[in-house]
Amino acid sequence: MKKIAIIGAGISGLYFANLLERNKTFEYQIFEKKNSIDLTDGYGIQLSVNSIKLLHKVGFNKLNTSNLYFPKKVNFFNARDLKKICDIDLSKFNDQNNFYTTLKRSNLIEFLLSGIPKDKLLFNCDLVDIQNKDRISLCFRNNEIKEFDYLVASDGIYSKTKQILFKKEGLPKYFNAIALRGNIRNFENFDISLYLGPNFHFVIYPINQNKEFSFISIIRKELNQEEVLNKDLFNDDIFIANLLNQISSKSDLNLVKQVEKIRCFPIFVSKKFQIPPSNNIFLTGDAFYSFPPSFAQGASQSIEGANDLFNDLDNNSSNYYKKRILRTKQINFRSKLNHFAFHLSNPFNVFFRNIFLKNLCKNKNFLENYLGKIYNN
């Protein structure tokens, strides 16, 4: 039986392992660099129906719905005066069994972990080298060497696997933007609320049935190389408070008093598509390609990609990278377009953007092409 090494216990790696666990065609082992997985993280994620269909294959439909929320709309607002611009009806893309879903990321991780035997996941496994001859040899920091037939890298945007394979070219680039994440309780709107401001936007949405909401803001911010690499900067209370005050000063919504457990991190994206030279090494999730988070497809594409890879290996096919590149180009284009449109600052441009948004949100052909092609994959 062929053996698969999975590097990284994120969404893509754990979902892929769940598929393998139900198939039994392959042996597998997951290697995680950290010493544990944090299940106390209360930050939210959005899952469109394209990924919900795939999650149901591994029993997601049995999850307690009190830990889920099913928003029906995305409501667009001006951040300054809080006036509504328009809305998109997400329920049009649902079907009888699959609904646009929001939840805590930790709840999704916990669910995926529940489908995997504990001995399949090893912690404190820091990959330092890869040798690929007859089989793949993985060398870890503790000098332990393991051999496998396939290697699946799902170790995120800062993928160590990718850096080993491609050296400096495997490193991502700073997107000139910073994300603020936090939680809000008892917000007034129970759908997805998207607020557009000059050089920033923020989103608030429910993450369960208990009136808990997730907050995320994307703020344009140019930083020099030294600042980008300074991890302490993004943990600095004054730096974070200044960012929150920056957007609060341009919005009538009092975010400073409402947002709790704020975390800050720089947004990195992939420089280009990179395919390992060997046909037994695969990149998935953000390790394959990371795009801006302005289309809410990060988690869904991690799940989609893992499913595509599983189908490829299970059918002894070789279409994975071709299919993933085509799909990711669609997502990346939409993410960058959204980022640009959401952050317009010139009042003249903002005025016409809002007119376009009002019309596009009512245009069935546009919605089917822009969202339907992604959600109904």
DSSP string, 30-53: EE-SSSS-------EEEE-HHHHH
Instruction: Tell whether the torsion through CA atoms of 100, 102, 103 and 104 is positive or negative.
Output: positive
pLDDT per residue as tens digits for the range 17-38? 999 999 889 999 999 999 999 8
Query: pLDDT digit string (tens) for 84-130?
Result: 999 999 999 999 999 999 999 999 999 999 999 999 999 999 999 99
Burial of 200 (0-12, 13-18, 19+ CB in 10 A): buried
pLDDT at 39: 84
pLDDT in tens, 184-196: 988 988 999 999 9
Q: 3-class secondary structure for 214-270? A: EEEEEEECCCCHHHHHCHHHHHCHHHHHHHHHHHHCCCCCCHHHHCEEEEEEEEEEC
Residues 292, 40 contacting (CB under 8 angstroms): no
How is the chain split into domains, by residue range? 3-172+270-375
Measured CA to CA in angstroms, residue 346 lies from 27, 340, 342, 351 at distances of 56, 12, 12, 9
Q: How far is the CA of 345 from the CAs of 80, 341, 351, in angstroms? A: 12, 9, 10
Q: What is the pLDDT of residues 208-265, one digit of tens each?
A: 999 999 999 999 999 999 999 999 999 999 999 999 998 999 999 888 778 999 999 9
Cα–Cα distance for residue pair 339/337, rounded to 1 Å: 5
pLDDT at residue 173 greater than cutoff 80: yes
User: Please, are residues 87 and 42 in contact by the beta-carbon 8 Å criterion?
Assistant: no
Please compute the mean of the pLDDT values over residues 152-163 and round it to a whole number. 97
Question: Quick one: which H or E segment has residue 104?
Answer: strand 101-104
H or E stretch at 159? none
Average the pLDDT over 164-176 and give the result.
Answer: 94
Residue 270: its pLDDT value, please?
97
Q: Work out the angle between the directed axes of helices 11-23 and 298-314 (0-180°, nearest 10).
A: 30
d(CA 45, CA 297) in angstroms, rounded, equals: 9
Q: What pLDDT is stored for residue 155 in this prediction?
A: 97
Domain 3-172+270-375: CATH class, spelled out: alpha beta
Please tell me the distance from the alpha carbon of residue 19 to that of residue 54, in angstroms, as a whole number: 10
Phi, psi dihedrals of residue 53, rounded to the nearest 5°: -55, -40
Q: Which residue shows structure tokens 């039986």?
A: 1
Please check the confidence at residue 377 and state whether its pLDDT lies above 80: no
* Average predicted confidence (pLDDT) for the chain: 95
Beta strands 27-31 and 44-47 are unpaired
Q: Return d(Cα 270, Cα 284) in angstroms, integer.
A: 13
Q: Are 240 and 261 in contact (CB under 8 A)?
A: no
CA neighbor of 82 nearest in space, from 187, 177, 219:
187
| Exposure class string for 310-325: b at 16+ Cβ within 10 A, else e | bebbeeeeeebbebbe
What pLDDT shows up at residue 255? 81
Nearest Cα to 122, choosing from 36, 207, 50, 44? 36
SS3 content of the chain, % helix, strand, coil (to 5): 40, 25, 35
Cα angle: 142, vertex 144, 149; to 5 degrees = 140
* pLDDT digit string, tens, across residues 269-319: 999 999 998 999 999 999 999 999 999 999 999 999 999 999 999 999 999
Please tell me the predicted confidence (pLDDT) of residue 188. 86
Helices (H) and strands (E) in the chain, counts: 13, 17
- Would you say 14 and 263 are in contact if contact means Cβ atoms under 8 Å apart? no
156 pLDDT higher than 90: yes
Supply the DSSP symbol for 278: S
